[in-house]
Amino acid sequence: MDPFTRRQFGRLSLAAAIAGAGQVAGVFPALAQGANPIRIGFAMALSGGLAGNGRATLLAYQIWAQEVNAKGGILGRPVQLVFYDDQTQPGLVPGIYTKLLDVDRVDIVTSPYATAMIAPAMPVVMQRNVTFLTIFGAGVNEAFKYDRHFNMNVVGDDMKETYAAGYFEVAAMLPTPPRSIAIAAADNEFAQKAGESARYHARKRGIRVVYDRSYPPSTVDFTPIIRAMQSARPDLVFIASYPPDSAGMVRAANELRFTPAIFGGGMVGTQLASFQSQFGPLLNNLVTWDVYSPEPTMNFPGVAAFQAKYRELAPREQTDLLGNYIPPYAYGQMQALEQTLTRVGKIDQAAMAADMHAQEFDTIVGKFRFSALGEWAEARNLYVQFQGITDNDLERYKRPGAKVILAPSAYKSGALRTPYGAAG
């Protein structure tokens, strides 16, 4: 066989690129032929560690685009999504955004999911002065202070102040005031900020920190962490973790019969169907950060209809089956974009940014405004508790009662049960 020449390789690459582009356009084949669509570009984790939430976000965007196009588009133009898989590799993100803005010449850019992927896109976006709608970032703009950044997340402006406030609000519900806390946080930006918030609130309330460690994302066995926490005998446990770690922590706590008054924190993953299906009753009394629960206090107009549509498509798209976490917010983010474009009447980056700073948005995740930093002006970090879980059936998570909201008080839907590990 002849060796592969550089020219042959180039031809093969070109063919692959054309095939790939076809696949992107194939998401909306009719639109690919449509006249002058509004092109919304973004990178998204469709493979790699963050792909679970990345794919769910994409599906929510696609549902929105389909609905908008069925209604005749925005400003009389159809919308078209132009997206690339960032493979959960931050190093690929700047190149993708350079291509989206300079080669594809998209009209609007939104962000990948989430903090670690948004940050590398910021310099590229800022250099070109475009309005940037981000999804589930955590304090990214604290460093950049870019006035055209708008983040769809409940965390709010000052993560240290807002993130763990609800957890300590829940801790105050304990019959005996807690005296000590153990904190474990993954070595990544989001988890470290979450841990910092827990530390800050513990100090503020005079609660002694008896264990405070970070752990690398490559950790396989979490029993040493839980055992070390257990030996410190804390009343409260705050863990800031990503999905595989959250699973390891819950497993280890169960194996070691660890029963602090409150166990939980900012455990990403517990919001997802796969996690809930795996752990079932082991989740009882876990108190964790969340963004949405189908409780009566969060029954915003349109959210049930969106979720019904999402849940119909999720099995085929092989993404989170419930859509209780990021999808309503991803859809709401696009609703906010739609409202801005309709008000501004044209694609004008400066005018869009000014509008987003000035106006209130009404979406399926409620009404909100953006602050000067582009975060939600009023934070809404929920702390929910799993209650009454008897099996691994996911149906219960579509109804009220399985994930009871304990904080903030405006959304409270039930009472705290304690300790962790007791029957729910």
Partner 1 sequence: MDPDLILLLNGIVSGLLLGGLYAAAATGLAVSFGMLDIVNIAHPALMVMGAFTVVLIGTALGLDPLLVAVLQAPLFYLLGVLIYGVYHHFFEKRGEEALQGLAFFFGVMFIIEVGLVMAFGPEQRFLDPPYAFITWRLGEIDLPLRMLAPALLALAALGALHLYLKRSFTGLAVAAVAQDAEALRLMAVNPVRIKRLAFGLSVALASIAGGALVVVQPVDPSSGQIFIGRVFAICIMGGMASLPGCLTAALLFGVVENVTATFYGPSWSPAVAFGWLLLVLAFRPQGLFGRMA
Among 221, 312, 348, 360, binds partner 1 (CB under 8 A): 221
Question: What token pair was written down for 303?
Answer: 């959210």
Give the residue among 122, 152, 127 at the shortest CA–CA distance from 60. 152
Contacts of 274 (CB under 8 A, 6+ apart): 52, 320, 321
Binding region for partner 1 (CB under 8 A) out of 65-73, 126-134, 252-260, 401-409: 252-260
Question: Contact, 388 vs 275, CB < 8 A?
Answer: no
* Residues of this chain, 302-361, that bind partner 1 according to CB under 8 A: 317-320
Using alpha carbons, list the distances in angstroms from residue 158 to 122, 142, 208, 248.
Answer: 19, 8, 23, 29
Q: Tokens standing for 20?
A: 């790939």
Nearer to partner 1 by Cβ, of 257 and 346: the residue is 257
- Per CB under 8 A, does 213 bind partner 1? yes
The Cα-based distances of 9 to 2, 22, 43, 85 in angstroms read: 13, 20, 26, 22
Q: Should residue 103 be labelled a site residue for partner 1 when binding is judged by CB under 8 A?
A: no
- Identified binder of partner 1 from the candidate list 64, 258, 275, 325, rule CB under 8 A: 275
Give me the DSSP letters along 349-377.
HHHHHHHHHH-EEEETTEEEEB-TTSSBS
38-77 positions binding partner 1, by CB under 8 A: 45-49, 51-52, 54-55
Q: Are strands 287-290 and 360-363 parallel, antiparallel or unpaired?
A: unpaired
Count of CB atoms within 10 A of residue 147's CB? Answer: 17
Tell how strand 180-186 and strand 208-215 pair up: parallel
Using the rule CB under 8 A, which residue among 8, 33, 36, 231 binds partner 1?
Answer: 231
Q: Give yes or no for residue 181 binding partner 1 (CB under 8 A).
A: no
Q: Which is nearer to partner 1, 168 or 242 (CB)?
A: 242
Number of Cβ within a 10 Å radius of residue 204: 11
Part of the chain binding partner 1 (CB under 8 A), chosen from 115-123, 274-282, 292-300, 345-353: 274-282
Of 180, 278, 297, 371, the one binding partner 1 by CB under 8 A: 278
Q: Is 112 in the site for partner 1 (CB under 8 A)?
A: no
Beta strands 403-407 and 382-386: pairing type? antiparallel
Q: Which two tokens stand for residue 319?
A: 């993404």
- Cβ-based nearer residue to partner 1, 176 or 218: 218
Please tell me whether residue 274 binds partner 1 under the rule CB under 8 A.
yes
The least distance separating partner 1 from the CB of residue 153, rounded to whole angstroms, comes to 21
Considering only 16-24, 106-114, 191-199, 208-216, which stretch makes contact with partner 1 by CB under 8 A? 208-216
Decide if 247 contacts 269 (C-beta within 8 A): yes
Q: Smallest distance from the beta carbon of 248 to partner 1, in angstroms?
A: 6
Binding site for partner 1 (CB under 8 A): 1, 45-49, 51-52, 54-55, 88, 184, 187, 213-221, 223-225, 227-228, 231, 243-244, 247-248, 251, 254-257, 269, 272-275, 278, 282, 317-320
